[in-house]
Amino acid sequence: MEDDNIQAKSRTRTLTVIAKPFLNSAWILVGCLFAMHSSALTRYESSIEESKWSLSGDIFACTLAHPIPHFGTGEFTKEAGEPMKFVLHPENEKIGPGQVYIISQAPSWIPGISPETLEVMPYPGYGLTVEVGGQVAEQMLTSLDRGRHPVVAGSAWENGRESVEVALSNINFNPAYDEFRRCMASLLPVNFEQIARTAALFPNNGTELTDRIRRRLDLVAMYVEADPTIEYIYIDGHTDIIGSRRDNRELSKLRAERVTEYLLQKGIAPEKIVSRYHGERYPAADNRSIDGRERNRRVTIRLERTSNNAQSLSEPSP
């Protein structure tokens, strides 16, 4: 027994985790059911000396990363046009299957402040990531900014009656967070998936660009200028079925030309643009309905990154 105790203490020093009775933690607040099935708590957290936050990013995405010794890494990521997300990357299987709790805890040196449960979610285990987004991720950042510790907690992989807490340290957080916010301020308003396909809708027999179309084309031009991987912009003019085929073909040509001219004025290189027109040949919706005809009076703008354009050059965008 004495040898076992010595080994357990040695292991704790090596892992730099804190093992303590479950009832001594602030976990009582998350629910009696979880407490009933837990008898011990292992906590992973950076020490004051080890706590680091690092920023990486560009105009497409910003990431604020925090290594957690002997567990893995926690990352806050804000991609252009997307909500905030937090991802906990375990290095191995330390949290078992069941529920995980996202909690905001006050530091131990400020007694009397109750923890706050931000989210409860299912977790399959097997060393998979824990991911939360939107408001919960924002609340975790706010918690750190206010000097609290966001915690991801669940059952231990080896023993479901034991518990694991993974805490994000607020030590050295604020300088990195200031850089993170500056990075987020420089993000593009949209990402590739959001801007890769655009449909500009026109009124009956109309060829002029509306303010709504211009605003969308402004985003297209901004993104293409920022992303050097964009090789081509395919512009395809279409009409509904009203009128003769000859007139519709000419109408679709005029619509495609209006969009092309606008993008050229915005500084898009002419060699990137492939402009085509199809009349009524490729409807996107049923021409027998008013709504369907409205959807068919369109110009589609598609951004292409790949160098294999054989199919793209021969087929119009939907």
- Domain map of the chain by residue range? 2-185, 192-314
The pLDDT score that the predictor gives to residue 25 is 39
The pLDDT score that the predictor gives to residue 234 is 97
Residues of the chain predicted below pLDDT 50: 1-38, 308-314
Kindly report the pTM of this predicted structure.
Answer: 0.77
The pLDDT score that the predictor gives to residue 6 is 37
The pLDDT score that the predictor gives to residue 127 is 86
Give the class (CATH, top level) of 192-314: alpha beta
Strand order across the beta sheet in which 17-21 lies? 17-21, 40-44, 162-167, 149-155, 98-105, 116-123
Give the class (CATH, top level) of 2-185: mainly beta
Nearest to 122 by CA among 102, 104, 143: 102
* pLDDT, tens digit, 9 for 90 and up, residues 1-55: 344 443 333 333 223 333 333 333 333 344 433 443 445 888 999 999 999 999 9
Instruction: Judge if 2-185 and 192-314 fold alike in CATH terms.
Output: no
* pLDDT, tens digit, 9 for 90 and up, residues 133-145: 999 999 999 999 9
* Beta-sheet strands, E only, within 112-240: 116-123, 130-133, 149-155, 162-167, 197-201, 232-237
